Structure 1
Amino acid sequence: MLQRRCAFLLLPGFGLGSLAGATEALAAVNALLEGEQYESCLLGLERSVTSACGVSLQCQLAGELSEQRFDVLFVVAEALLPEPEAPQLALLNWLRGCARQGLVLGGIGSGAAWLAEAGLLNGYRATLSWPHIPLLAQRHPEVLFSQHLFELDRERLSCAAHSASQDLLIHWLGQRHGERLAQELAASLGLERLRGRDEHQRQPLAGRLGLSGSAGTSAKLAEALALMEANLGEPLSTEEISGLVGVSRRQLERLFKQHLDAVPARWYLSLRLERARRMLRQTSQSVLQIGLSCGFASASHFSNAYKACFGCTPRDERSRHGAQWRAGRPDKEGTHD
C-alpha cells in the first residue's frame, strides 16, 4: 500500500473550518482508492496551536521534521505575516528548505502570504482570503494573485478560507487520479456540484453592496451594480452609470474602491467576461456571437480582453470544453451569484 503524507502547518489563529475541509477530503478519498492512501499530519511551531475559534490542536513540532519527506505541505493561517521576528524568520527559512527538497507547497486561508514572504511564489498564480489580496499584491508584485477560490500552478497550491480548502483538495486529487475520481469524491462529500478553480471569491453581501455604510450609500452602489448586470450586452459608460444613480463619477469610483476594492470599469468588464465564459462553456453560439452579446465591438477586442483575464483565448476555452459538448454533457458550472 502506497502511503502519501500531507502535512498541515498550523499557525496561531488558523481557521478550523479551513483545516477540516482539507483533511475531510483526504479522509474521504481513501475509501475510493485502491493501492494508495493519504495520511494527514498536523505540524506547529509549538506542540499546541490554538485556532481562531479558541480550539487547540496537538501538533508535531515542524522543526523536528525538517528532514522528513511529505508529498505536500500546506500552511494554514488566517492572519497576515507580522513584522518578521526570530520565530517568523526561522519559519520562512524552514519553508525554503522544504521547497529545496522538492515538496509541493500550499497555502490555505492566508497561508499563501507566508509562501510569498519566503519568496516561494515568484512567477506563480496564487490566491488567499480576499481581504488580504490588495496588500499582498502590492507587497509582492512578482506573484500573480487572483481572487479565485483556489489556484493550482505547477507545484504550488493555494486557496481562500473555509470550504475553498475542500475544493482545492478535490481538484488536486483529481489531477493526480483523474476527473472521474474528483466527481466521485465530491459526491461522497455531499457536494451538489464541484466548484471550478476560476470561480471568484464572493465578498460578504454587506461588503459588496456597501451595507456597512449609510443607507444612501448602500442604495447607490446597489443601483450601480444592478445597472451593470442589466446592461452587459450594451455597456454603459462610468459617466452614464453615475448619472443614472445620482452621484458624480468620482463619488462612484470612491464607492467601488471602498467596498469592492475595484474601479467601476474593471468590475464591469469582469462581469461581461464571466458571462462570456459561461456562454462559451454552456452554449453553441460562435465566439464572435458571444463576444458581441457581451459588449465587445470586435473579435480581436474580445480575444485580447479574455486572454488578459483568464490566460487563454475564447477559442482555447471553447475547444477545451468541446468534448463535453460533443458528448452532450455541457459544463454545468454555476454562476458566481
Structure 2
Amino acid sequence: MVEQLRRTVRPEPSPVQPPAAPKLFVFLLTHQFSMIAFAAALEPLRIANRLARGRLYAWRLVAETAEPARCSNGAAVSVDGPLDAAPRDATVLVCGGLEVQKAASKPVLTWLRRQARLGSRMGALCTGAHVLARAGLLEGRRCTIHWENRAAFAEEFEDVEITNRVYEIDGDRLTCAGGAAAADMMLALIGDEHGPDFARLVADQMIVGSMRGAAEEQRLSAPARLGTRHPRLVTIIKRMEAHIEEPVSPSDLAEGAGMSTRQLERLFRRYLNKSPKRYYMELRLQRARGLLLQTDMSVIAVALASGFTSSAHFSKCYRDQFGRTPYHERGAAEPEERA
C-alpha cells in the first residue's frame, strides 16, 4: 500500500533558479488605493522568491510624495520614496482604488509618460487603468478595469478597447480588474517567466483553488447574481443591461423573449419581486450614479447616457432612489441655487 501511494503522489516542481538580477516591480500607490488588489499583486512575488530560495523579484513602493500612502480602508502604507526614475526593464503598476480622478495628477501623469518612454512595462490594478488612460498610455490597447468603473471609463476614453475580463495583457500593457484578479494576473506573469508548474506552486501557497485565465469574465454570471436560472428572465435582463442609453420598451422586451407583456410582468414579480419597469429604472440609475461619481460629465450628459431625455425627470427619479439629487451627489448646488 505504501509503495502504491508513493507511485501515485506527484512530486512537487523543482524550485527555479534565481537570475543574476531580480526583476523589478514598481508599485505606484495612489490616493485611496485598494489594499486587496495591492496585496494580491505583491504576495505572489514574495511567495515566488521564498519557493525559489532566492530573489526572482524585487519591488519598490512609490507615491506622489514620500508620505505614507493611505488606502481605501484607512490604513497607511510606508513608501520607499517619491516618484523617481526606475530602470528601463522595470514593470510599473499603478495601484488604483477610490477617487481615481484625484490620482491622475499632473506629476503622476508626467512620471508615467516618462517611464513609458524609457521602456518600462506599464500596468494597472483596479481603477489604475483610468490613470494610465489619462496619461495616454492605453490608446490602441486592450485593457480592463473593475466592472463598477467600466461604464464611466468607456464614456471618457472612447479610443481605448475596454473589456470585462479579469485581466488583460496586451504587449507591454498589463491591467486587471482589482481584488483577487490582481493575483490571477501576477500568477500568469510568473507562469510565463518560470513555467506553469511553478506558478501553480505559488497558487497552492496562496490557497488559490484555481488560476483564472485572462478570458474569464469579472462578474458572476447573470443567473448567479439573480439567484435564478430562468432562461427567459436572464435573457431579458442581459438585454436591459446592454441598452441603458436607449432603453427598450416592455412590449419589445416581451416580444423578443417570445411572451406577452403580462407574462413579462408576472415573471419579474415572481423571481425579483418588482416590475420590469422598476428593475430597468434601478439599472439605469445605478449606471447614472457611477458616472456622476467617477467622471466629470455634466449632469445632463449623465442623464442622456442613462436613458433619460429630461433632466427634471432624471433628477426626480434619482432623488427617489438615493435620497439626494444628482447635483447634491457631487456636492454641488442645484442650478437655480447657483444664480
Q: Please give the secondary structure, in 2, of the residue aligned with 1:75.
A: strand
| Aligned counterpart, 1:303 | none
- Of 206, 213, 233, the residue aligned with 1:224 is 233
CA distance in 1, matches of 2:133, 2:125: 13
TM-score norm. by structure 1 comes to 0.63
How many corresponding residue pairs? 243
| Aligned counterpart, 1:37 | 56
Q: Please give the secondary structure, in 2, of the residue aligned with 1:29.
A: helix
> In the alignment, does 2:132 pair up with 1:130?
no
CA distance in 1, matches of 2:141, 2:32: 26
Q: 1:70: how far off?
A: 5.1
CA distance in 1, matches of 2:106, 2:202: 38
> In the alignment, does 2:119 pair up with 1:119?
no
Q: 1:176: how far off?
A: 1.9
| Aligned counterpart, 1:322 | none
Aligned 8 A contact 1:9 1:62 in 2: no
CA distance in 1, matches of 2:94, 2:237: 38
Q: 1:142: how far off?
A: 1.4
Aligned 8 A contact 2:109 2:135 in 1: yes
| Aligned counterpart, 2:280 | 254
CA distance in 2, matches of 1:2, 1:257: 51
Q: Please give the secondary structure, in 2, of the residue aligned with 1:42.
A: strand
Q: 1:184: how far off?
A: 2.2
Shift in CA distance, 83/17, structure 1 to aligned 2, threshold 3 Å: closer
CA distance in 2, matches of 1:257, 1:242: 22
Matches within 5 A, 1:1-337: 1-33=20-52, 37-47=56-66, 48-63=68-83, 65-69=84-88, 71-82=90-101, 88-202=105-219, 208-209=225-226, 224-225=233-234, 238-240=256-258, 243=261, 244-246=263-265, 251=277, 254=280, 257-258=283-284
Shift in CA distance, 242/179, structure 1 to aligned 2, threshold 3 Å: farther
CA distance in 2, matches of 1:32, 1:237: 58
Shift in CA distance, 190/223, structure 1 to aligned 2, threshold 3 Å: same
Shift in CA distance, 4/114, structure 1 to aligned 2, threshold 3 Å: same
Q: Please give the secondary structure, in 1, of the residue aligned with 2:258.
A: helix
CA distance in 1, matches of 2:151, 2:237: 23
CA distance in 2, matches of 1:165, 1:144: 20
Q: 1:223: how far off?
A: 7.1
Coordinate RMSD, CA, aligned: 3.6
TM-score norm. by structure 2 comes to 0.62
CA distance in 1, matches of 2:257, 2:101: 41
What amino acid maps onto 2:118 in structure 1? Q
Q: Please give the secondary structure, in 2, of the residue aligned with 1:138.
A: helix
What amino acid maps onto 1:238 in structure 2? G
CA distance in 1, matches of 2:183, 2:193: 15
Aligned 8 A contact 1:223 1:245 in 2: no
Shift in CA distance, 55/83, structure 1 to aligned 2, threshold 3 Å: closer
CA distance in 1, matches of 2:132, 2:144: 11
CA distance in 2, matches of 1:255, 1:203: 21
Higher alpha-carbon deviation: 71-80 or 154-163: 71-80
Aligned 8 A contact 1:6 1:41 in 2: yes
Contiguous gaps of at least 5 residues in structure 2? 1-19, 239-253, 269-274, 288-339
| Aligned counterpart, 1:319 | none
